[in-house]
Structure 1
């Protein structure tokens, strides 16, 4: 159960014993004044703190996030099961909030031994440069004042702040030197963005020459936070929006390296409307509300606190999840078997857990109807019936603070059971880039 990922004194003590004399700071519990972040269940009673005051007294805001998963094979080749040894890992992410200071959050949630970070940097990404970063923008990251750190098994931490001016929608590059053997890596399987690897220590390189391997997953990196206004103005405090869900939220079938997920589209729409807010993606491909999966992460009711409610500065969560709960039992896919047949009442009960958890934290929670699934491998008479019943509950119950109707927004006008062809990625289950933009357009921004 992931509730044990809250870093304990015993874990920190064990890690300290392992790293004594090696110049490493053990801080699974906190860094830069942060509190421990654990997943306790849906309520997520404590989190990356950090909501947040920096050491200078400015509130931290999550500007980018990814939900951690245990190492697994996944749909595309990745490095999670083998891990890293004597290598440098470079990862590119796009922030949806700006500031003049930045820090990173690292997760060893599913590690069984301390994760040793020998060095880390953050920099602005060079446009069109792949693994290259802007010359002069590289900032060394420290952890409680030291360049190296060991994160205990099941722990996570934040770095100290680094002075770096970032604008909303700017890409940043985080580089980690993993000098020791990590073992299986806590990661996020489907990034739809390219990450890079090099042998040796290239943590401070501005150029891309050494980074001759690539993958489409993120490893150990679970967040980038910002503070300050970047140009002297006060940072926005309307509250970040977290999108919580499965592969549709994660951005499955969106264009790689182009930031075309529905989270990206929503952040852009908010900015265009003159109401900019950070939008954080807490989707995991294949995730379920009610059941854990080796490939698809812990169930939504277990990870909701860690991955959504505890993010620094969160004000609203939009929940879109349940198609896998009702659709895996219709599918021939071997990745989640045996799949239980889930009723509408059971799925609704799971969503009620999420609603209660959000309200306990004072976070606004918006429900979403499930997208049309006709013609997909998740479709069948039973799944269609449960989907209809669940969607009607979302629309009429009033239990969510508000709702967005993706079912109707993306439906084919000629067949409401199916996704409109112009929005269909081809599998009749996931939207394409245009479909993700349509999802963002379907949101009443006032409801956020």
Structure 2
């Protein structure tokens, strides 16, 4: 599969060599790759002022799912308007905070070059590097952004993970000097490791509930993280990775925060290395708009959402990927709850359970709802805002997934 991103033909030999297909790219010693970590990028239009990110070093932390003897790192300029220059890039084992483990630092190259210009709309992989990473460990990706024109930036705004910024090119420092903590992942959206026997990836496609909103910061307790831990603990499934493609505020049918689920399936599901399954948990933000309509297209129906979810499942099936439907968690008491929206949620959940569209179903609604008040969360699962689970709710969601869905 090729990256579903358009980019212009460029004359830089190193850049051309650096572009690789995400799931079947060649390396000197490995022919196949599987994603171990991913995030879904979008246009930086608020939060931390990324427009100051020139002449600085970024150190970004990723909690991977499966291990490997090599890594390759994916950088993205998908929403940029200008070429993005990255130089002095490194991958290392995190030592916590902004530090890296001594002796683990490896310089990254791009077609053998130490810097690369990423065209607007493009994503690239680094060359493979012999960094051995353990399952469920933290990898630190560090890179320098030299002074350059940067009119638009690509990031994942809600990392629920501290990342770090320092002035100047200090990418080789074991501890970034005078660093600032930043809340997002910028220009970096994936890590692959070489495939081994029974390697395959699960993509979790969703909104803030998949992104892990209101889970404990820096603790990796999002439901996809807990699922990855369950996979690791099962000797028959330990080589299955989990890639979190959730975006807070995302919708199925219309763009809000990030591209809609329908418009990002090519990038976030089909183009991911080694993907064999997708768990789809989206629609609650579409439904929430019914409480306060802002545009004519906010007036959605259950049938429209079902059509959108079916298109996602159909696209997965066309590429040999199993699609697993997840029922929508309760939202009674949330600030955008409405009786009309609840009718739509229940109708969509009934359709997910009974339509036969999906290869399997995960009943997150049943796993998290209050038996005495099924339109709302079980209090033990509620983060307090009545829309997002807390840590116990995310754990209940992950534990509700039947792992036999992922048997070959």
TM superposition score category, shorter chain reference: over 0.9
Alpha-carbon distance between aligned partners in 2 of 1:194 and 1:367, rounded to the nearest angstrom: 31
2:4–2:267 CA contact under 8 A, matched in 1: no
Listed as ranges, the matches of 1:44-443 within 5 Å are 48=22, 50-73=23-46, 77-80=47-50, 82-126=51-95, 129-181=96-148, 182-211=150-179, 213-227=180-194, 235-274=196-235, 275-276=237-238, 277-293=240-256, 296-331=257-292, 340-443=298-401
Alpha-carbon deviation of 1:210? 3.5
TM-score (norm 2): 0.94
Q: What secondary structure sits across from 1:422 in the alignment? A: coil
Task: Specify the alignment match of 1:7 in structure 2.
Answer: 7
RMSD: 1.8
Distance 1:112 1:214 in 2: 26
Deviation at 1:238, TM superposition (A): 4.0
For residue 18 of structure 2, the aligned residue among 31, 56, 63 is: 31
- Residues 122-148 of structure 1: per-residue CA shift (max 9 Å, x gap): 00001xx31000011100000000001
Q: Is the 8 A contact 1:331 1:378 kept in 2?
A: yes
Matches of 1:328 and 1:202, distance apart in 2: 45
Size of the alignment, in residue pairs? 401
Maintained 8 Å contact 2:135/2:232: no
8 Å CA contact 2:331–2:375 kept in 1: the answer is yes
Q: Is the 8 A contact 1:115 1:151 kept in 2?
A: yes
Q: Is the 8 A contact 2:94 2:140 kept in 1?
A: yes
Q: CA deviation at 1:338?
A: 6.7
Shift of 1:4: 8.3
The alignment partner of 1:400 has SS state of coil
1:293-330 residue CA offsets vs partner (Å, 9 max, x unmatched): 2xx10111110110112110111000000000111231
Q: Say whether the 8 Å CA contact 1:83–1:184 is kept in structure 2.
A: no
Contact 1:261 1:436 in 2 (8 A): yes
Cα offset, 1:261, TM superposition: 0.4
Asked whether the 8 Å contact 2:15–2:110 carries over to 1, the reply is no
What is the rounded CA distance, in whole Å, between the counterparts of 2:292 and 2:69 in structure 1? 48
Q: Secondary structure at the match of 1:359?
A: helix
Indicate the residue corresponding to 2:402 in structure 1. Answer: 444
Flag the 1:131–1:331 CA change in 2: closer, same or farther, 3 A.
farther
Offset from partner CA, 1:326-382 (integer Å, 9 cap, x none): 1123159xxx76761210000001011101100110001100110011111231111
**What's the counterpart of residue 232 of structure 1?**
none
**Structure 2 unmatched runs, 5+:** none
Rounded Cα–Cα distance in structure 1 between residues aligned with 2:231 and 2:30: 27
Contact 2:202 2:279 in 1 (8 A): yes
Distance 2:298 2:75 in 1: 34
Unaligned runs of 5+ in 1: 17-23, 36-47, 229-234
Q: Any idea what the Cα deviations from partners look like across 1:265-297, whole Å, max 9, x if unmatched?
A: 00111222332211110000000100012xx10
Q: TM-score, normalised by structure 1?
A: 0.86
1:231 is aligned to none
Q: Give the CA deviation at 1:156.
A: 0.8
2:45, 2:335 → 1: CA distance?
22
After superposition, the Cα gap between the structure-2 partners of 1:362 and 1:323, relative to the gap in structure 1 and judged at 3 Å, is same
User: SS at 1:196's partner residue?
Assistant: strand
Query: Structure 2: how far apart are the matches of 1:206 and 1:65?
Result: 24
Q: Which stretch shows the higher mean deviation, 311-320 or 50-59?
A: 50-59
